[in-house]
């Protein structure tokens, strides 16, 4: 709190009408900041009773508005990110102070309702719900003082001074089985952005590789460019993020662009592995409202990416690389995409029945500053570890979750500086392979006998057969070489995310 403004003393003298639903005997109440993001609403009588405590960590914005009774409309004359207006206030209107809050639901199971287990034992995150607090300001109060208090609250809520922000929302309308990304953008994302005093523009992709073109050229349309926005919000599946990021990395100033770019992701696809990883690390439930909440809060975490080189091309990855049966499941199940994430379970069962294995050579290093051969035909350094065998699956990951229901790499962190590779080699019984697939939703698959995990900073894979599946997209087959680029992608995530 040392970098935040001090709580204004005048806040204690500003009278707000106590909401009638609180059934308090005190007509007026006031605001009191108790530190540690706790805002108390206290009665204005001699008892100074605490009527409610609001956790500012659950809030995304604070606004002061004039509600015109005669027109049943709201005229925003005193928003917290604009200077106060000297114009006289309509006597038929009331000033309203609104705190936009989204606390996590407090759900009690029937065991907890009977007192057998305390509610504190429920540690799993819950969905957030809108529980906004609106206070009518007493008619005689100085609205400029109210606006000053609201501006300080806004600073506490977001950790930054109130200033104009404009975000680009890039929507892939064909992502996911429901294809409802644009509807989510208009009904969930933009309204919450307005509550957080964030302006936004929606751009809908119209063709394949459109997101890549925007990332590469910075041309958004309507004479606008990416540099005019404070952040880019990607609404689609993991493929949409892959497209945009690879477009940026095609630029001559790619690393400088990444350093300035703030990226938000709202999952509207089938797997949504990246948004699941972010919400999991942030101790939030995956979903558009929670993901938008994290963006509104404005906390940014630097995450790792990696470069993948094939014979002809170079790619950028933020998610996973798969080869073997995992790649077969991901790519071959595209024909039943309409089933959503359950398509992976059905195709996984089929892959276990046929139990294919592929020969390959895997070489890797843990050197913090690895030196990679400039040509894929050149041998790897002698210090590298080499594994040549028949593989059932090979799954390299930056993220804890490759999909909403798949914790494929439970030890992966957003900024751990390594690629973690999950390996199954022959021989492997169908029973143990089934246990691996069934354990993916909880991360227990790593405990199955025969499962191997390798952490590395760079590797080379020389595969025979199957697909090279990078971030859910098929790339050039044949040998591939990867290297971590630590902490260069700035994404919106909770303060607990690492």
pLDDT of residue 116: 54
Structure-block tokens of residue 172: 């892939």
**174-193: b (≥16 Cβ within 10 Å) or e:** ebbeeeebbebbeebbbebb
**Three-point CA angle 383, 384, 388, nearest 5°:** 135
Tell which CATH classification among 3.40.640.10, 3.40.50.150, 3.40.50.10330, 3.40.50.2000 matches the domain 165-269: 3.40.50.10330
pLDDT at 191: 97
363: number of CA atoms within 13 Å, CB side? 18
The kind and range of the H/E element at 459 are strand 458-463
Q: Which residue has the tokens 């005093």?
A: 197
pLDDT band at 445 (very low <50, low <70, confident <90, very high): very high
Q: Could you tell me what percentage of the chain is helix, strand and coil, using 3-state DSSP and rounding each to the nearest 5?
A: 30, 35, 40
Q: Indicate the CATH number for domain 309-486.
A: 2.60.200.40
Q: How far apart are CA 155 and CA 8, in angstroms?
A: 13
- pLDDT per position as a tens digit, 30-49: 999 998 899 999 999 888 89
* pLDDT confidence of residue 121: 44
> What is the distance between the alpha carbons of residues 275 and 265, in angstroms, rounded to a whole number?
6
Give the DSSP H or E segment for 304: strand 300-309
How far apart CA 307 and CA 314 sit, in angstroms, is 7
Q: What are the tens digits of pLDDT across the range 158-213?
A: 988 888 899 999 999 988 777 899 999 999 999 999 999 999 999 999 999 999 99
CA atoms within 13 A on the CB side of 495: 6
pLDDT of residue 355: 87
Residue 113: pLDDT band with limits 50, 70, 90: low
pLDDT of residue 91 exceeding 70: no
Residue count of the chain: 498
| CATH placement of domain 9-157 | 2.30.29
Rounded Cα distance, 65 and 145, in Å: 13
Cα(172)–Cα(177) distance, integer angstroms: 12
* Mean pLDDT calculated for residue range 8-30: 92
Sequence ranges of the domains in the chain = 9-157, 165-269, 309-486
Q: What is the pLDDT of residue 3?
A: 81
From the list 146, 138, 157, 45, the residue with the least C-alpha distance to 99 is 157
Q: How far apart are CA 237 and CA 243, in angstroms?
A: 10
Judge whether residue 270 has pLDDT over 80: yes
By percentage, how much of the chain surpasses pLDDT 90? 72
Question: Six-digit token pair at 232?
Answer: 């880019």
Domain 9-157 identical in fold to domain 309-486: no
Neighbours of 224 (CB within 10 A): 15
Out of 79-93, 252-266, 279-293, pick the least confident: 79-93
Candidate ranges 67-76, 120-129, 217-226, 261-270; pick with highest mean pLDDT: 261-270
């Amino acid at each position: 709190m040392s970098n935040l403004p001090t709580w204004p003393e005048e806040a204690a003298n500003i009278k707000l009408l106590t909401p009638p639903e609180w059934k308090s005997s005190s007509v007026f109440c006031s605001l009191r900041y108790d530190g540690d993001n706790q805002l108390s609403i206290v009665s204005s009588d001699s008892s100074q009773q605490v009527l409610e405590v609001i956790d500012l960590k659950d809030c995304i914005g604070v606004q002061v508005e004039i509600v015109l009774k005669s027109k049943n409309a709201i005229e925003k004359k005193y928003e917290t990110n604009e200077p106060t207006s000297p114009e006289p206030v309509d006597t038929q209107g009331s000033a309203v102070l609104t705190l936009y809050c989204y606390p996590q639901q407090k759900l009690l199971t029937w065991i907890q309702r009977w007192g057998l287990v305390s509610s504190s034992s429920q540690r799993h995150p819950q969905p957030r719900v809108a529980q906004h607090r609106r206070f009518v300001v007493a008619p005689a109060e100085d609205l400029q003082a109210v606006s000053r208090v609201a501006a300080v609250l806004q600073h506490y809520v977001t950790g930054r001074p109130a200033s104009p922000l404009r975000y680009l929302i890039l929507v892939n309308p064909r992502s996911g089985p429901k294809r409802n990304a644009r509807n989510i953008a208009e009904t969930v994302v933009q309204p919450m952005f307005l509550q957080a005093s964030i302006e936004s523009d929606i751009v809908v992709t119209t063709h394949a590789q459109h997101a890549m073109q925007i990332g590469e050229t910075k041309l958004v349309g309507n004479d606008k460019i990416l540099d005019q926005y404070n952040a880019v919000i990607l609404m689609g599946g993991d493929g949409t993020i892959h497209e945009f990021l690879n477009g940026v990395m095609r630029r001559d100033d790619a690393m400088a662009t990444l350093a300035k770019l703030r990226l938000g992701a709202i999952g509207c696809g089938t797997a949504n592995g990246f948004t699941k990883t972010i919400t999991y690390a942030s101790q939030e439930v995956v979903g558009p409202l929670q993901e938008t909440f994290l963006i509104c809060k404005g906390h940014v975490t630097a995450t790792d990416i990696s470069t993948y080189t094939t014979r002809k091309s170079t790619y950028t990855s933020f998610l996973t690389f798969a080869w073997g049966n995992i790649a077969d499941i991901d790519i071959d199940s595209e024909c039943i995409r309409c089933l959503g994430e359950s398509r992976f379970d059905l195709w996984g069962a089929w892959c276990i029945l046929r139990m294919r294995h592929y020969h390959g050579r895997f070489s890797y290093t843990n050197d913090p500053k690895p030196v990679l051969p400039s040509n894929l035909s050149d041998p790897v350094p002698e210090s590298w570890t080499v594994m040549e065998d028949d593989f059932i699956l090979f799954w390299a990951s930056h993220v804890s979750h490759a999909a909403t229901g798949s914790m494929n790499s439970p030890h992966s962190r957003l900024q751990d500086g390594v690629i973690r590779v999950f390996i199954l080699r022959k021989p492997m019984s169908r029973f143990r392979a089934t246990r691996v697939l069934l354990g993916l939703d909880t991360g227990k698959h790593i405990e199955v006998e025969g499962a191997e995990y390798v952490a590395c900073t760079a590797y080379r894979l020389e595969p025979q057969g199957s697909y090279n599946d990078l971030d859910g997209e098929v790339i050039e087959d044949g040998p591939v070489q990867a290297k971590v680029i630590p902490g260069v992608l700035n994404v919106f995530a909770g303060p607990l995310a690492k």
